[in-house]
Amino acid sequence: MDLRARIDADQENVERSLVALVLTLVEALRQLMERQAVRRLDAHDLTDEQIERIGGTLLALEIRMTQLREHFGLKSEDLNIDLGPLGKLLPDP
């Protein structure tokens, strides 16, 4: 049997899956950066200027992620990979 017949290698599905994987990684990193910023904020380890810059950067990244999800027809739930017995990759909002 031909390998292509066994694998759904439709270009649109492959592209959408690859975009979902990349956006999932970016979202995981965004959430990590956000948690780190909150920790530093709680520890009073940031200047007012740093707080403004971090807040603006995280907001811009969240807006861009929303635009990319919409462009590729993805929902937030599509970015939360199920890791089997380990559960979902990203915490629930």
- Looking at per-residue pLDDT, the higher value among 78 and 2 belongs to 78
Alpha carbons 15 and 13: distance in angstroms, whole number: 5
Residue 85, in any domain of the structure = no
Residue 91 domain-assigned (yes or no): no
Domain count, the chain: 1
pLDDT value at 65 more than 70: yes
Q: Evaluate whether residue 37 is within a structural domain.
A: yes
> Is residue 22 a part of any domain in this protein?
yes
Report pLDDT for 78: 85
Within a domain: 26: yes
pLDDT band for 9, please (50, 70, 90 cuts). low
**What pLDDT is attached to residue 14?**
80
Query: In this structure, is residue 53 part of a structural domain?
Result: yes
Q: Which domain holds residue 53?
A: 10-74
Mean pLDDT of the chain, nearest integer: 85
Q: Would you state the pLDDT for residue 16?
A: 83
User: Residue 7 — pLDDT band, cuts 50, 70, 90?
Assistant: low
Interhelix angle 11-42/48-71, rounded to 10 degrees, is 160
Contact 34, 61 (CB under 8 A): no
Instruction: Tell me: pLDDT of 28 over 80.
Output: yes
- Residue 48 in domain: yes
Asked whether residue 59 is assigned to any structural domain, the reply reads: yes
